[in-house]
Amino acid sequence: MHEPPRRGTIVVDLDGTICEHRYPAFGEPIAGAREALQRLKDAGYWIVIHTVRTSSYYRVTGVYDPEVNSPEAVRAYLERHQIPFDEIWLHDKPVAMAYIDDRGLRLVGDRQQSNWQKITETLLPGTRKRRFW
């Protein structure tokens, strides 16, 4: 059992949020993801990675590949790129064309630039630079 997070839990998708969509391969890390997740972790958030890759959908349809769909493959990718996390959620995230969530923060970007900084500032409002006008 882990210690309770000081600030709460943040669930982060993998493909298209931490890395570029390149399924079945793992895409390149999205700009700012590692740094943002490290700031959030350092601030006391529990970081949970939740991905369709580990969904039972792949086992049921017969296309499961442990090099792509296993939690071990996800962990290896995150560790290889030094992306901080506390847990990989193994329960199903349903395969869908969209996820609607009242607490969602939309990531926009690729490996060259992204809005991870803005997301971090939204979650850590005391760290924003003050404007003097």
The verdict on residue 104 lying in a domain is no
Q: Number of folded domains in the chain? A: 1
The verdict on residue 44 lying in a domain is yes
DSSP state letter for 14: S
pTM metric for this prediction:
0.78
- What count of other Cβ atoms lies within 10 Å of the Cβ of residue 63? 11
pLDDT value of position 60? 86
Looking at residue 70, which CATH number applies to its domain? Answer: 3.40.50.1000
Mind listing the pLDDT tens digit of every residue in the chain (133 residues)?
456 567 788 889 999 899 998 988 999 999 999 999 999 999 999 899 988 888 888 888 888 888 888 899 999 999 999 999 999 987 776 665 566 666 788 889 999 999 999 999 988 887 655 544 4
CA-CA distance, 116 to 35, in Å (whole number)? 9
